[in-house]
A and B are shown apart, each in its own frame.
Chain A
């Protein structure tokens, strides 16, 4: 019995030598990472070919904990980095894992252009409705009325509805879950790992330290109860009807799952038509 050891099944997917992680007690990011590792198992992905690219912020630290090839890039620029990576080696499965502030404020331009191009990236956007790493400032996702460190009297800017934004810009796959919906989230993540094109999964996640506490929304457990009670699974609902608020209903589900030719396919089509046999399709560009 001396060789009997208990292992968490997700350990092989994590850099255990970097534990403990930096996330606060009750933070939902770890839950999403757990779901991601389950999705890697379920999708039967070749782990040597899966790459995680993150920007900056609390969720930006995911790249550092994933035991995969992983890149912690600059603030907002995970998507264009991932774009170059994917184009240089199309055989990679490139996952962009970052937060709402990183992907939709400073990186918002890249998000819409990558969706427009339908470049084959899987974007996981953990939305805690706040800039958490820097101390709880207003984000483009902060709901009206919420107190933040830079909106001490309440936020009044209209917030982005991210699923609507992603769909409008051209994403092939758009879903939203909360960290309460671990099964559904894992399944969505596994699904996008096997889907071509630009995929966007928004995950509503608590920041008990800065968002829930400041807004008197209770602790992490209270937030789970809220997610459970307020969430309505509505697959295929028009994303325009899925806006979020501070205390209201949370529409979750898979909203978009469509087939559009992805960037590589469009490029191949165009060059084959224009150049015929002179076109040299770029293979993996590994240089000497």
Chain B
């Protein structure tokens, strides 16, 4: 289906990443947001609070991030598309409810505009140090979907994609921005509503008598009903059977958890987004994402100018990690250089994918600024030595 034109601000705009993210959510059909103020993410919900009363929806500023991250799930079961926005400390508080969304298969979007950590860290300055938290932060085993925009335009586009993925797979999806991308202002083109594809809610067509809320369809995803429609269904964070009833036996746990992990495998294999350039003859592959990929562009040009055959692999889908396409590059490349605004997170995934077939060189940064192109260039030069 196409986007509801009420939420689509068609035209060319000059927006920062936070505002573009909000427009993406509105275009995707989000009509409910709950948030708690936290730098550098608050502008997303500030814009939502200003825009939503004339579109038809609700913003509520909750008492904390625990409340915001579960209020959106109540709204989803009431029929809305919903999201929340935060940064490091708030993301930490939301972890339990990310697990609840996974377990109850509640489609919703969590935006994390990353700042320096640990703890209160660097509230106004960038980092990319929550990437592993996004993957592993809530307890238990589960699959994760996370996208990494590197421009305001992508903040718009990928927020729509995040909503679509969340509806398709019925699980929380993360938009992993960073302070620079969130606060960088660039041209954002918002297409007409009929050019925006929306994945509709997977609402059951079964009668209340036949409906089982956690009976998986062939693609492993069950269909939803909303509260108030006469289905009288039950939802719990406990391990549950296809009726949604708590069931504590080992077989039920095994079947449920394996399905929750398996249902997103398709994204890893078929739908992961990444951007490549100059890989045909590349001796060294520069793997980057988010704001770091903007610095990497410059480093790549400098390297090519110096005769280094360097190619680009930009992660857009961070989770599930596009392991196969990256591994395929080991046929030609001798080294992978991985700059990140952390002390080494996604580089572990690169190492796992490469599996000893090439050198993997991290370019670390504790956050608070971005790399200089020269730092990355030095690693590229070193890699080909």
Does A18 make an interface contact (CB < 8 A)?
yes
Q: Point out the residues of chain B lying under 8 angstroms from A267, CB to CB.
A: 58
Supposing A280-B53, A282-B31 touch, asked if A84 and B79 sit within 8 A by C-beta, the answer is no
Supposing A68-B232, A84-B72 touch, asked if A110 and B53 sit within 8 A by C-beta, the answer is no
**Residue of B1, B66, B80 touching A88 (CB-CB under 8 A):** B80
In contact, A92 and B78 (Cβ under 8 angstroms): yes
Q: Point out the residues of chain A lying under 8 angstroms from B234, CB to CB.
A: 15, 63-64, 70-72
Q: Point out the residues of chain A lying under 8 angstroms from B31, CB to CB.
A: 88, 282, 285, 287
B-binding residues in A (CB < 8 A)? 15, 17-18, 47-49, 51, 53, 63-64, 67-74, 76-77, 80-89, 91-92, 109-110, 113, 267, 271, 275, 278-288
In contact, B75 and A69 (Cβ under 8 angstroms): no
In contact, B235 and A72 (Cβ under 8 angstroms): yes
Interface mask (B52-79 → A, CB under 8 Å = 1, otherwise 0): 0111111010111011101111111111
Does B251 make an interface contact (CB < 8 A)?
no
A139 to B81, alpha carbons, bound, how many Å? 36
Supposing A71-B77, A73-B70, A74-B97 touch, asked if A85 and B54 sit within 8 A by C-beta, the answer is no
Q: Point out the residues of chain A lying under 8 angstroms from B274, CB to CB.
A: none
Q: Point out the residues of chain B lying under 8 angstroms from A69, CB to CB.
A: 227-228, 231-233
A275 to B56, alpha carbons, bound, how many Å? 12
Supposing A64-B246, A110-B63, A286-B79 touch, asked if A72 and B34 sit within 8 A by C-beta, the answer is no
Does B29 make an interface contact (CB < 8 A)?
yes
Which residues 9-37 in B have Cβ within 8 Å of A in the complex?
A: 29, 31-32, 34
Does B142 make an interface contact (CB < 8 A)?
no
Supposing A89-B226, A287-B81, A287-B200 touch, asked if A80 and B235 sit within 8 A by C-beta, the answer is no
Q: Point out the residues of chain A lying under 8 angstroms from B226, CB to CB.
A: 89, 286
In contact, A275 and B54 (Cβ under 8 angstroms): yes
In contact, B66 and A275 (Cβ under 8 angstroms): no
In contact, B227 and A51 (Cβ under 8 angstroms): yes
A-binding residues in B (CB < 8 A)? 1, 29, 31-32, 34, 53-58, 60, 62-64, 66-68, 70-82, 96-97, 100, 198, 200-201, 226-238, 245-246
A73 to B29, alpha carbons, bound, how many Å? 25
In contact, A280 and B201 (Cβ under 8 angstroms): no
**Residue of A71, A109, A113, A280 touching B235 (CB-CB under 8 A):** A71
In contact, B57 and A285 (Cβ under 8 angstroms): yes
Q: Point out the residues of chain A lying under 8 angstroms from B235, CB to CB.
A: 70-72
In contact, A88 and B58 (Cβ under 8 angstroms): yes
Q: Tell me the minimal C-beta distance from B7 to chain A in angstroms.
A: 11
In contact, B62 and A285 (Cβ under 8 angstroms): no
Closest to B79 in A: A286
Supposing A89-B226, A280-B53, A281-B56 touch, asked if A77 and B67 sit within 8 A by C-beta, the answer is yes
In contact, B236 and A83 (Cβ under 8 angstroms): no
A89 to B226, alpha carbons, bound, how many Å? 10
Q: Point out the residues of chain A lying under 8 angstroms from B58, CB to CB.
A: 87-88, 267, 282, 285
Q: Tell me the minimal C-beta distance from B6 to chain A in angstroms.
A: 8
In contact, B228 and A49 (Cβ under 8 angstroms): yes
In contact, A288 and B200 (Cβ under 8 angstroms): yes
Q: Point out the residues of chain B lying under 8 angstroms from A92, CB to CB.
A: 78, 227-228
In contact, B200 and A88 (Cβ under 8 angstroms): no
Supposing A84-B70, A285-B78 touch, asked if A89 and B245 sit within 8 A by C-beta, the answer is no
A157 to B226, alpha carbons, bound, how many Å? 43
Q: Tell me the minimal C-beta distance from A286 to chain B in angstroms.
A: 4
Closest to A85 in B: B74
Q: Tell me the minimal C-beta distance from B20 to chain A in angstroms.
A: 22
A229 to B376, alpha carbons, bound, how many Å? 79
Q: Point out the residues of chain B lying under 8 angstroms from A71, CB to CB.
A: 74, 77, 227, 234-236
Q: Point out the residues of chain B lying under 8 angstroms from A81, CB to CB.
A: 70-71, 73-74
Supposing A48-B230, A88-B80, A110-B63 touch, asked if A288 and B74 sit within 8 A by C-beta, the answer is no
Q: Can you name 11 A-B pairs with beta carbons within 8 Å?
A: A72-B238, A80-B68, A80-B71, A84-B72, A85-B77, A85-B227, A88-B75, A88-B80, A91-B228, A110-B63, A285-B32
Closest to A286 in B: B79
Closest to A65 in B: B234
A73 to B237, alpha carbons, bound, how many Å? 6
Q: Given known contacts A15-B245, A88-B58, A287-B80, what 16 new A-B pairs fall within 8 Å (CB)?
A: A69-B228, A71-B77, A72-B235, A72-B246, A73-B100, A73-B237, A74-B97, A77-B66, A81-B74, A84-B75, A85-B227, A86-B74, A87-B32, A92-B228, A284-B79, A287-B79
In contact, A85 and B81 (Cβ under 8 angstroms): no
A70 to B73, alpha carbons, bound, how many Å? 13
Q: Point out the residues of chain A lying under 8 angstroms from B201, CB to CB.
A: 287-288
Q: Tell me the minimal C-beta distance from A69 to chain B in angstroms.
A: 4
In contact, A282 and B75 (Cβ under 8 angstroms): no
| Top 5 closest pairs, chain A to chain B, by CB | A84-B74, A88-B78, A84-B71, A286-B79, A85-B74
Closest to B30 in A: A287
Q: Tell me the minimal C-beta distance from B107 to chain A in angstroms.
A: 10
A84 to B1, alpha carbons, bound, how many Å? 26
Q: Tell me the minimal C-beta distance from B168 to chain A in angstroms.
A: 14
In contact, A280 and B237 (Cβ under 8 angstroms): no
Closest to B163 in A: A287
Q: Tell me the minimal C-beta distance from B212 to chain A in angstroms.
A: 12
Q: Tell me the minimal C-beta distance from B238 to chain A in angstroms.
A: 7
Closest to A271 in B: B53
Q: Tell me the minimal C-beta distance from A198 to chain B in angstroms.
A: 14
Q: Point out the residues of chain B lying under 8 angstroms from A278, CB to CB.
A: 53-54
Q: Point out the residues of chain A lying under 8 angstroms from B56, CB to CB.
A: 280-283, 285
